[in-house]
A and B are shown apart, each in its own frame.
Chain A
Amino acid sequence: MNRRDHTLESSSPERVTTFPFTAIVAQDEMRQALLIAAVDPSVGGVLVFGDRGTGKSTAIRALAGLLPRMRAVVGCPYACDPAAPAEACPHCAGKLERKSALVPVPVVDLPLGATEDRVVGALDLQRALALGEKAFEPGLLARANRGFLYIDEVNLLEDHLVDLLLDVAASGVNTVEREGLSIRHPARFVLVGSGNPEEGELRPQLLDRFGLAVEVATPTDIATRIDVVRRRDAYERDPAAFCATYSKAERAQAKQITLARERLPAVTIPDAVLEACARLCLALGTDGLRGELTLMRTARALAALDGTHDVTIDHVRRIAPAALRHRLRRNPLDEAGSTARVARAVAEVLA
């Protein structure tokens, strides 16, 4: 059994020729949300829901190519930040000197049919069988630490796995208590889920855990549709050449993320904007403070992406649908749907 074999974050041939993020046509809301998560991982995950064949998976896999490399402790299965305190990590704790290297940010796919032992980690069967040792083999959550965990068809994932993932995503720590092992390791990741509401909807308490929720629809405008098909066709015929034509745009986009990250701590929110956020959440009746917090955080990240240091009402306006639409109390008899309700409230409150 080769344990450190080819995963998605390694440099497999598919990785080199992933469809470029910047070549994605339209779907601005989805791209904006993913970029925000890349700038500020603490916004708490992105949920992409919508029609089939709208490039949900493509966009999320493409994001991996944009993320600037990160510094990680060599040999640490959790890819710890050398600047972070070592105590939290079972590998790094107690080590006096930690070498570090630049590695790609992990974007880990959670395949459907994954068993719980592979997600949280379990007893290392190899070592147990061969050496009679009791050792922990980290799971997908460990690999996703400091990166992204992507679940396609999140609504088809088994409930107990979803609960587990959300719990870990919220706490940033994976606690393993099984087979006589007792281990805690860091597992901070941005949860990205995608799905189609026709396959079944997500439980509301689950929806609320995602920071941003975006809806994608198949473009109806013929020029846009032609553009999508044309680019995809060009990509399929010669992936390498297609990616090469977008390499400049990709570099620019990556730079935008890097700069936005640097700028983020200095971005301030004027009191007037804070107040507008509060009024908007009040008008929509969103439960709890999570909506308001997300609204402020994402607006800051958006301002950072825009290259400014001040959040304006306009930033709030642009991000409000994605930050709030999944936090509204359901009213099934309201035909308009939550997106329209947010839009209405934005128009009234932020006028």
Chain B
Amino acid sequence: MTPEPGAGRWADAIRVAALLAADPQACVGIRLRAGAGPVRDAWLRHLTDRLATGTPVRRCPPGIGDDRLLGGLDLAATLSAGRPVAQAGLLAEADGGLVVVPMAERLSPGTAARLAAALDTGTVAVARDGFFETRAARFGLVLLDEGLDDEAPPVALTERLAFDVDLRDLALRDIDGATASDPARRTPDRAMEPDDASEAVATLCAAAEALGVASLRGPLLAVRIARLIAACDGRSMLAEPDLAEAARFVLGPRATRMPAPEQPGDDAEPPPPQASPEDERPPDASADEAASERQQAEPPSLDDVVLAAALAAIPPGLLAALAAGQAPARGGKVGKAGAAAAAARQGRPIGARAGDPRRGRLSLLATLRAAAPWQALRRSETGAGEARAIIVRPEDIRITRYRQRTESTTIFAVDASGSAALERLAEAKGAVELLLAEAYVRRDRVALVAFRGRAAELVLPPTRSLVRAKRGLAGLPGGGGTPLAAGLDAAADVALAVRRGGGTPVVVLLTDGRANVDRTGTPGRPRASEDARAAALRFRAAGYAAILIDTAPRPQDSARALAEAMGARYLPLPQADARKLSAAVRAAGEAA
């Protein structure tokens, strides 16, 4: 359970690379957390060296367009041939090999969903540009995650991948020695004897349960990887080391909690509340037996071995967080999807119309299509002297229509300090949910920053999901000092990210304006006020629309002064309830 030294982790990473190379499709893929650098390059070299010769490896930039990703019309070939010619997309080209996505944290949810669909079906369905096609696309996905802090690739994608390897704090010296000791493993022998995997499945399910791996993809992938390990080692039956290793690679990084100390697995914790009234089918008799057998097994049981292996693979930081009973790390990844979506939505093409290409982007395909029906006619008009394959006239020219979405994101910055914190938080929570509920049609988003104690925290990254908001807002603590400067800075950071993504931020600050913790987290009123003022001026310089809602029982001069410094509207609202608050915010948002 101790944090492994760098060399051990590198050896694991190499082992994972070997497995991935042996059967990319079965592994689905890997999320590799590492900055661009020699360590990552070395790992990628290990991976590609192991691939059978001729295996395609395609790099897929995160902002790739559908025409390149999925395929479509090959314009050059179409023009020269005078008939539509299809062109395979990147996913189809990578069939049997790997798709490598650098900067995967920048993937938009749309692109992620396309990748996920291809991973699920092993095919890529194209319904574009006059083509219907389904091509084979069985590939393994390598997400190179360079995300800092809470940036991460979309969970919809990472959840499907078997491996999650973190090489961030490895140095070159860690990887030097380990390379040689790597066992040379080649293509697996897939002809497995039919064995009874019941016990293996039960073991891995129990381990997943003990670690709080909710999705069934965890144990499913673990079983698959265990088989792959056995096959790579030339065995046809699953053995204990296979399960332990699979649990280590697949389940460890997915852990969201530490197993209950005395009885790992069953009954230790109440099952999470279920959303739908599910009438349970009588559980399969054999499964029941397996489960009870497993429970009665004498120590050290297979379960314990597998669980211990999985625990060994939990990254040290996560382990400490889990041990302290903190929020699961995977939960933290939720929320980036929305932010990335905004970036991709900046002016989305929504079709084409006749127009002048000097005042818009030429839509070649639509232009071709407009010109197409007249070709035979025009050729006969102009006579045989016309050598061009396709005759395009000015009236055929089409330009792409874009829809510029200026969706607004309301960022609540809530002073969660002191005694009034609980009420204020409750009001802010209510307002957030109300705004979200009303914002469906406009598809606006909401974010929440809370500041208390020594620092500010982004409680809810910009989202339009009520489900996620509720989850983020549940159990938000209050009390402590007022680090106003930190709160303003955090709100400004979120606002900047929103603006970069093409949205319009509106910041709503709920505070009484009395700072008593400065930027460095040190208590002290004068310094704190100074910092808050500086932060407010910085905020004003950026020119974000803002309202300051004074939550003090009596309107405060300090709050009014702060609003002025921020360039925010000042709104004393001592008895604000959620409804009043959301009405005020809406009014401000429309004015902004």
Contacts and interface: CB of A to CB of B under 8 A. Distances in A.
Interface of A: 1, 3, 5-8, 12, 14, 25-29, 50-54, 57, 109-119, 122-126, 128-134, 137, 139-140, 152-153, 156, 158, 160, 179-180, 196-201, 203-205, 214-230, 232-234, 236-238, 321, 330, 332-333, 335, 337, 339, 343
Candidate in A14, A25, A129, A153 with the most chain B CB atoms within 10 angstroms: A129
A337 B275 contact: yes
Interface stretch (B172-180, B277-285, B311-319, B490-498): B277-285
B113 A233 contact: no
A339 B467 contact: no
B131 A1 contact: yes
A323 to B, nearest CB: 13
A51 B432 CA distance: 23
A14 B126 CA distance: 17
Interface string B209-226: 100001111011001100
Given A126-B83, A218-B216, A321 B437 contact: no
Contacts of B374: 132
A56 B160 CA distance: 14
A220 B128 contact: no
A205 B197 CA distance: 47
Contacts of A3: 132
A129 B215 contact: no
Interface stretch (B7-15, B95-103, B116-124): B116-124
A15 to B, nearest CB: 11
A225 B83 CA distance: 53
Candidate in A12, A112, A343 with the most chain B CB atoms within 10 angstroms: A112
Candidate in B78, B155, B204, B278 with the most chain A CB atoms within 10 angstroms: B278
A197 B159 CA distance: 16
Contacts of B351: 116, 160
B437 A332 contact: yes
Interface stretch (B42-50, B265-273, B530-538): B265-273
Given A222-B209, A225-B209, A115 B84 contact: no
Given A233-B220, A343-B277, A203 B441 contact: yes
Contacts of A332: 433-434, 436-437, 466
B484 interface: no
Given A156-B109, A197-B465, A223 B287 contact: yes
A229 B219 contact: yes
Contact of A126 (B84, B279, B433): B84
Given A52-B159, A128-B375, A223-B287, A230 B278 contact: no
A53 B205 contact: no
Interface string B52-77: 00000000000000100110000000
25 contacts: A1-B85, A50-B275, A52-B155, A53-B215, A115-B128, A115-B129, A118-B130, A123-B372, A128-B372, A129-B78, A134-B373, A140-B132, A179-B370, A196-B156, A198-B337, A198-B468, A200-B109, A200-B465, A217-B278, A225-B219, A229-B223, A230-B197, A332-B434, A332-B466, A343-B277
A233 B224 contact: yes
A111 to B, nearest CB: 4
Contacts of A152: 113, 117
Given A217-B276, A219-B216, 12 more contacts: A6-B133, A50-B276, A53-B216, A54-B216, A110-B127, A113-B69, A114-B127, A218-B215, A222-B265, A230-B198, A233-B224, A333-B430
Nearest to A325: B276
Contacts of B443: 203
B110 A112 contact: yes
A343 B133 CA distance: 45
A339 B127 contact: no
Contacts of B525: none
A197 B369 CA distance: 38
Contacts of A227: 283-284, 287
Contact of B465 (A14, A198, A223, A229): A198
A114 B126 CA distance: 7
Contact of B291 (A158, A226, A228, A330): A226
Given A113-B69, A114-B128, A321-B276, A198 B334 contact: yes
Q: Which 5 A-B pairs have the closest CB atoms?
A: A132-B376, A223-B283, A111-B125, A118-B127, A114-B127
A221 B348 CA distance: 44
B308 interface: no
B134 A12 contact: yes
Given A7-B132, A29-B276, A123-B373, A112 B215 contact: no
B369 A125 contact: yes
A52 B373 contact: no
A197 B85 CA distance: 39
A228 to B, nearest CB: 6
Contact of A229 (B69, B84, B205): B205
B465 A125 contact: no
Contacts of A197: 465-467
Nearest to B136: A14
B290 interface: yes
A109 B125 contact: yes
B467 A198 contact: yes
B171 interface: no
Contacts of A131: 376
Contacts of B437: 330, 332
A201 B440 contact: yes
B369 A228 contact: no
A337 B274 CA distance: 11
A5 B192 contact: no
Candidate in A3, A128, A321 with the most chain B CB atoms within 10 angstroms: A128
B338 interface: yes
A116 B125 CA distance: 15
A124 B197 CA distance: 53
A223 B280 CA distance: 11
Contacts of B197: 230, 233-234
B272 A220 contact: yes
Given A116-B351, A128-B375, A214-B276, A25 B281 contact: yes
A165 to B, nearest CB: 13
A224 B274 contact: no
B114 A113 contact: yes
B131 to A, nearest CB: 6
A140 B128 CA distance: 11
Contacts of A236: 224
A112 B113 contact: yes
B219 A129 contact: no
A230 B202 CA distance: 8
A127 B422 CA distance: 69
Contacts of B205: 222, 225-226, 229
B375 A140 contact: no
A52 B156 contact: yes
Nearest to B217: A53
Contacts of B275: 50, 215, 217, 337, 339
